[in-house]
Amino acid sequence: MSWWQALILGLVEGLTEYLPVSSTGHLILFQRALGIAEGEAANAYAICIQAGAIVAVLGLYRARVASMFRGLAGRDDDGRRLLLCIVAGFLPAAVLGLAFNDWIEAHLFGLWPTVGAWFVGGVAILAVRGMRKDRDEGAGLALEQLAPRAAFLIGLLQCVAMWPGTSRSLVTIVGGVLVGLRLSAAVEFSFLLGVVTLCAATGYAGLKSGSVMLENYGPLSLAVGFVAAWLAAVVSVRWMVAWLQKHGMAIFGWYRIALAAAVALWMISGGGGS
C-alpha cells in the first residue's frame, strides 16, 4: 500500500465513521477501487485506522469523558449514570462480536452484502423520518435521562451493524430515538458508545491480525491512515451535528440508496473484482 492510498483510506474512514452511511462499507469499496486485494490484512487495516476517529471524538467530547471519569471516582452522578449506560450499551456487541467476528469476516466483507445493507439502511432512515415528520426534533429525553435498560436495547441494535454497510452510527442513533431520546442526545450517545465499541474492535483486530497488516502494508501506511482519519473525523462530526440540528437524517437515506444503486451497476458491469 502506498502512502497516498493510505491517505485516501484514512480520509474515507474519518469522514464516514460517525455518519450513518457505514465507514466499513466505504472502506471496502475504496479498497477494491484502489486495487487493494481483500483479505486479513485489508480487513485489519480498515478496522485499525478507526483509532484516529476515536481520538477525534475523545477530543470533541472531552467534557463528557471527564464527567464519566469523575463519576467513576464517585464525584459526578450524571457522569456515573452515563458511564453505566455506555457499559450496558457495549455489552451486547462485546459478546456477539467475539462469537461471530470470524464468520462475519468470512461471509459479509464483500461488496454485494454491503450494497444490500446500504439500500436497506437507506430505506430505514426514510421510514423513521416518515414516522417522525410531525415531531419536534428537540422533543424527547436528554442524555442525562437515559436509563441503562434503554441503553442495553440500543446496544442490541448496534450488533446489527456488524454487517458491513449497515452503519453503527445509523442503528445506534435510530435506537436512541426509538427509546425516547431527542435526536441530539441520540447522536451524542452514539458517538460516545462508538468510542468504547471501536476501541474494542481496534484492539481485537490489532492483536489478531496486526502482524499480518504491518507485514503487508508497513507502519507508515498505518500512521498516515490514523492521522488522516483523526483530522477528517473532527470535520465530519462537527458538520454532522450542525446538519442534523437543522435538516434531520433524510439526506443520508437518499445517499445510501443512490450509492447502493451506483455500486450495484458498477459491479454488474464488471467492476470491483467480486
What is the per-residue pLDDT across 101-110, written as a single tens digit (0 to 9) for each? 777 776 666 7
Q: Distance between CA atoms of 9 and 188, rounded to whole angstroms?
A: 25
Task: For 209-244, write each residue's pLDDT tens digit.
Answer: 889 999 999 999 999 999 999 999 999 999 988 888
Instruction: Name the band, by pLDDT with cuts 50, 70 and 90, for residue 246.
Output: confident
What burial letters (b/e) apply to 65-84, b meaning 16+ CB within 10 Å?
bebbebbeeeebebbbbbbb
Quote the pLDDT of residue 166. Answer: 81
The pLDDT value given to residue 274: 47
Above 50 in pLDDT, residue 189?
A: yes
Query: Does the structure show a pLDDT above 90 at 157?
Result: no
**How far is Cα 101 from Cα 114, in angstroms, rounded to an integer?**
16
Q: How far apart are CA 27 and CA 125, in angstroms?
A: 21
Residue 71 has pLDDT above 50, yes or no: yes
Helix axes 77-107 and 62-72, enclosed angle (nearest 10) = 110
Higher-pLDDT residue of 92 and 96 is 92
Residue 196: how many CB atoms within 10 A of its CB?
17
What per-residue confidence (pLDDT) applies to 225?
94
Centre a 10 Å sphere on the Cβ of residue 156 and count the other Cβ atoms it contains: 15
What is residue 235's predicted lDDT score, i.e. its pLDDT?
94
- Taking residue 273's Cβ as centre, other Cβ atoms within 10 Å add up to 11
Alpha carbon distance 233, 69 (integer Å): 23
User: What percent of the chain stands above pLDDT 70?
Assistant: 92
Is a pLDDT exceeding 90 seen at residue 13? yes
269 pLDDT exceeds 80?
yes
Confidence category of residue 14, pLDDT binned at 50, 70, 90: very high
The 10s digit of each residue's pLDDT in 121-155 is 888 888 877 665 555 555 678 888 899 999 999 99
- pLDDT at 260 exceeding the cut of 60: yes
The rounded mean pLDDT for the chain is 86
Compute CA distances 92 → 47, 84, 122, 253, whole Å: 19, 14, 24, 26
Our CA angle for 107, 113, 117, nearest 5°, is 130
Instruction: Look at residue 136 in the predicted model and tell me its pLDDT.
Output: 57
Asked if pLDDT for residue 268 goes beyond 80, the answer is yes
pLDDT value of residue 180: 87
